Amino acid sequence: MRLQVLENYKEMSVKAASIIASQVILKPDSNLGLATGSTPLGMYDKLVEMYEEDLVNFEKVVTFNLDEYVGLAADHPQSYNYYMFDNFFEMVNVPKDNINIPSGIEDDLKQVCKDYDQKINDYGGIDLQVLGIGKNGHIGFNEPDNKLRTNTHVVELNDETINDNSRFFDSIDDVPKKAISMGMSSIMKAQKILLLASGKQKAQAIKKAINGEITTEHPASLLQLHSDVTILVDKDAAKLIS
Ligand code: F6R
């Protein structure tokens, strides 16, 4: 694992954007695995800026998002589909047909999950996977448990995650209880992984991911088994790392 501690959120975001941009410059038809949430917002802003300045071109890029809430349509403002278009896709030139986000509103969600993994495989896998991390160590929506799922699957969100994510909804009762998430092997099969964390509320999760025992009870700790992981954190998120 390569750990880089940046001065603050802005510097972390700029660094993350430069890693994504380098990937796309070196391999214009990269398959990017993308995350939502608060953490990568600054990275998307910077990437949009770099695109507007002609420093990076996404016309051949294919994207696969990590997850989506079950029951929220693409046009629901809290869906991850809406987030991605609102914060990134509307402002850059990733072709619409190259954008993949699992749909959480189909009748047969098992088939959605199967088709999603098949498509990732058909495209030759993910070149660079961006991840955030939950306070409980989740990545994607692979929640701490005594077992983890390998493939894309429907997951019951745990109370801590529902509580954390309620900040985006009018009330905690509006937060969906289930999501579709890439599984651990879809994530671990990516050629490269870029994990971002900012703020002291993530310090414990980062410490355990880097120095803790490798356990399904802290899914991010499994990243220790991957050969090409870069972790970018700001000073607050790094404060428990010795
Ligand atoms: C989002 C995702 C989640 C988030 C995590 C951290 O696509 O997969 O694992 O990365 O919940 O969320 P923030 O960045 O909002 O703290």
Summarize pLDDT for 159-205 with one digit per residue, the tens.
989 999 999 999 999 999 999 999 999 999 999 999 999 999 999 99
Q: From CA 166, how far away is CA 153, in angstroms rounded?
A: 22
Does the CA dihedral 10-16-20-25 come out positive or negative?
positive
Q: Tell me the C-alpha to C-alpha distance, in Å, between residue 74 and each of 70, 84, 102, 106, 145.
A: 11, 10, 10, 11, 29
**What is the CA(19)–ligand 1 centre distance, in A?**
19
* pLDDT tens digit sequence for 35-71: 999 999 999 999 999 999 999 999 999 999 999 999 9
Mutate to test the pocket of ligand 1, among 87, 101, 133 (most ligand atoms within 8 A of CB): 133
What is the average pLDDT value for the chain, to the nearest integer? 97
Domain 2-197+221-230, what architecture?
Answer: 3-Layer(aba) Sandwich (3.40)
Closest alpha carbon to 132 in 61, 41, 213, 212: 41
Q: Which residues are catalytic?
A: 67, 136, 138, 143
Asked whether the ipTM of the predicted complex exceeds the cut of 0.95, the reply is: yes
> Which letter, b or e, does each residue of 106-127 get, where b requires 16 or more Cβ atoms within 10 Å of its Cβ?
eeebeebbebbbeebeeeeebb
Six token digits for residue 52? 């507007």
Q: Write down the domain spans for the chain.
A: 2-197+221-230
**What is the CA(165)–ligand 1 centre distance, in A?**
9
**What is the CA(161)–ligand 1 centre distance, in A?**
9
Angle in degrees, CA 143, 89, 135, rounded to 5: 20
Ligand 1, atom 11: closest residue by C-alpha: 134
Q: How many residues does the chain have?
A: 242
Six token digits for residue 20? 């994504």
Inter-residue contact 57 to 99 (CB < 8 Å):
no
User: Which residues approach ligand 1 with their CB closer than 6 A?
Assistant: 35-39, 66-67, 132-134, 138-141
